[in-house]
Amino acid sequence: MPLLPKITALKQYAAAHKFIVIFVVMLILYASYYAYGILTAPSTATRYVTTTVATGTIVASITETGQVTASSNIDIQSKSPGEVLSIPVVAGQHVDAGAALAYLDPTTAQQAVVSAQQALQSAQIALAKAQEPATVSALTSSQNALATAQTSLVQAHQNGYNDISTAFLNLPSVIAGLDTVLHGTVVPGRTSEQNENAYSDMVEPYDSTVVQYRTVAESSYQTAYASYTKALADFKSTPRDSADATIEALTDESYQTAASISDALKASTNFLSFVNTTLTNRGLSVPSTLTANINTLTGYTVTTNAQVAALSIDAANVAGDERAVAAAQASLGQLQAGADPLDIQSSQLSVQMKQEDLAVAKQNLADTVVRAPFAGTVAKLAVQQYETIGSGVAVATMVSDNQSVAISVNEVDAAKLKVGEKATLTFDALPSVSIAGTVSSVNTIGTVSSGVVSYDATVTFDTPNTEVKPGMSATADIITGTETGLIVPMSALKIANGQSYVEFFSPPLANSESSTGSVSSAAPMRTNVTAGLSDGTNVIIESGFAGNTEVVIRTIAGAGATAPTSAAQSTSLFGGGARGGVGGGGAIRALTR
């Protein structure tokens, strides 16, 4: 087709589609202008490097060094004297619990067993003789023994009743006080709730375990109150001169009631202490009533435990005196009834004593073999073969299989360290060995050396390893926290006047995620954020920002940079000024639900 007709056709098309032609021409002009700006941008212009915010998990940890120690490192002592006949172990040998460490000469112990057997036979002969008709003196002696036992039992009943009376002078105020602590309405700011509910609601958002503690405390109180109510009614209806069986039943019931109240006090104290610990660990305000309530329960516990101890002794004394009376009655009955091979066992206590002596003698014979009380390694031997030793002499020193690493933590890391945190243990001398561990203790009292404060802590092996020896150098990588959320590099987080913020462009800059960034004549906008856990490289943004948004991680300043305006400094990512340090957090919550 000739050129002229083509030109004519283009003109006709342009006349018929003039708006499309104008739009294409403007688009070409704008693209040319933008490309010219990029190519001719001065090298001194400010450039911004950005990254896209995304969800992820940060694991924070600290690394500490220390030395391996053994949880149990004790001297194993001989329980029996004698000459060391043989030592079947050597230093450095691993043994199981109960393994023989040394054999002592059993001759003396064997003789003691023979003597005890003979003494038992003699007592049994005496028993046989006692089965013969009793003499007048024997009857009189037996009657006196019965009278003494009965007098002792009467006194035990009197003592029991006296202690019951004392208990019911003290326990009413205790049970009423416990009721006030749990069901009063004095918690500041929460007087519309009972104390136990107020404390529970205060802590439940941070640790729902508090509900279990509250439930146990309330259940224990109800059990104690029911027991107390019945025991008090029984006490009021039981005079001092009641029958022995009635006094005994009341003594046992009062003991059980006091013990039940003691259990309720313990459960309530555990509940309040859990609340106090949770609030304190989170740096939250502890109500003044909470400390007062805990102190009140402590005082009640002292009072109640004193009653429990006294009533327990009374119950034991009554039971013991009853057995003594029964034994005296049986002995007298046997004497009065005469010889009866089926029922009479006169001198029964003597025979029983000889049986116990024989058992002790046999145990002493068994103790001539010194055995390991636990599984572990024989660190050293303290005796030699044919050496004569006494009872209580150390035979060997053992190191238990329970192992741990003692570390010293600076005050910054100590603030992050908590019992129960998991760790990975490695050892300079054993490059291929890696053992899981758990922080088992953190000293709350620091030591100061050259102006530096440090705290001792212990990481216990989850699984013993015989390759690891006490004294070895160890490194503990301890996980102090994990958090999932929006992650940004630490370089993106900035602080001004105590408020954390990040910078961003809206709309995002093109090609700004490269190492050289992108040019912008306008300063980025800011949004205030709340920062969470950091691993030193990245940080969690807990509020004030959303995912899939680019933030500035590096600014390459130039002479042509434009200073941020006040409007840019206060603009939130989601519109409106920052409030409460969260930069439009309400909008974020709405978007991320």
Q: What is the pLDDT of residues 391-450, one digit of tens each?
A: 888 888 888 777 788 898 988 888 888 888 889 999 998 899 999 989 988 888 888 888
Of the two residues 562 and 265, the one the predictor is more confident about is: 265
Task: Mark whether 33 and 175 lie in a shared domain.
Answer: no
Mean pLDDT is lowest, of 113-127, 327-341, 460-474, 486-500, for 327-341
- Measured CA distances, 10 to 20, 27, 29, 59, 582 (Å): 13, 19, 20, 66, 59
Domain ranges, residue 11: 3-40
Exposure b/e, 135-144, CB count within 10 A at least 16 = b: eeebeeebee
**379 CB contacts (<8 Å, ≥6 apart)?**
73, 91, 92, 396, 397, 398, 399
Specify if 533 maps to a domain: yes
Average pLDDT over residues 137-142: 83
Specify if 356 maps to a domain: no
pLDDT of residue 471: 83
Hey, what amino acid is at 368? T
pLDDT of residue 592: 32
pLDDT of residue 12: 67
pLDDT of residue 469: 82
Task: Mark whether 217 and 199 lie in a shared domain.
Answer: yes
Average pLDDT over residues 137-159: 85
- Measured CA distances, 327 to 65, 90, 102, 129, 331 (Å): 67, 54, 45, 19, 6
Task: Mark whether 31 and 176 lie in a shared domain.
Answer: no
pLDDT for 143 beyond 90:
no
pLDDT for 470 beyond 90:
no
Average pLDDT over residues 217-221: 94
Q: What is the pLDDT of residues 27-37, one digit of tens each?
A: 777 666 555 55
pLDDT of residue 577: 34
The overall pTM is greater than 0.85: no
pLDDT for 39 beyond 70:
no
Task: Mark whether 298 and 313 lie in a shared domain.
Answer: yes
pLDDT of residue 157: 83
Contact call for residues 425 and 476 (beta carbons, < 8 A): yes
Q: Which of 292, 315, 339 is the last residue before a domain boundary?
A: 339
Task: Mark whether 297 and 318 lie in a shared domain.
Answer: yes
Specify if 358 maps to a domain: no
Average pLDDT over residues 528-545: 83
Specify if 292 maps to a domain: yes
pLDDT for 320 beyond 60:
yes
Domains identified in the chain, total number: 3
Specify if 452 maps to a domain: no
pLDDT for 161 beyond 60:
yes
pLDDT of residue 576: 35
pLDDT for 337 beyond 60:
yes
pLDDT of residue 318: 83
DSSP state of 582: S
Q: What is the pLDDT of residues 354-380, one digit of tens each?
A: 899 999 999 989 999 999 888 888 888
User: pLDDT-based confidence at 314, cuts 50/70/90?
Assistant: confident
Specify if 346 maps to a domain: no
Percent of residues, the chain, with pLDDT higher than 90 = 26
Mean pLDDT, all residues of the chain: 81
pLDDT for 558 beyond 70:
no
Of the two residues 305 and 157, the one the predictor is more confident about is: 305
Please count the other Cβ atoms lying within 10 Å of the Cβ belonging to residue 499: 15
User: pLDDT-based confidence at 550, cuts 50/70/90?
Assistant: confident
Task: Mark whether 322 and 287 lie in a shared domain.
Answer: yes
Mean pLDDT is lowest, of 89-93, 394-398, 558-562, for 558-562
Specify if 240 maps to a domain: yes
Average pLDDT over residues 272-287: 92
pLDDT of residue 118: 93
pLDDT for 41 beyond 70:
no
Specify if 97 maps to a domain: no
- The DSSP string of 139-193 is HHHHHHHHHHHHHHHHHHHHHHHHHHHHHHHHHHHHHHHHHHHHH---STT-TTS
User: pLDDT-based confidence at 19, cuts 50/70/90?
Assistant: low
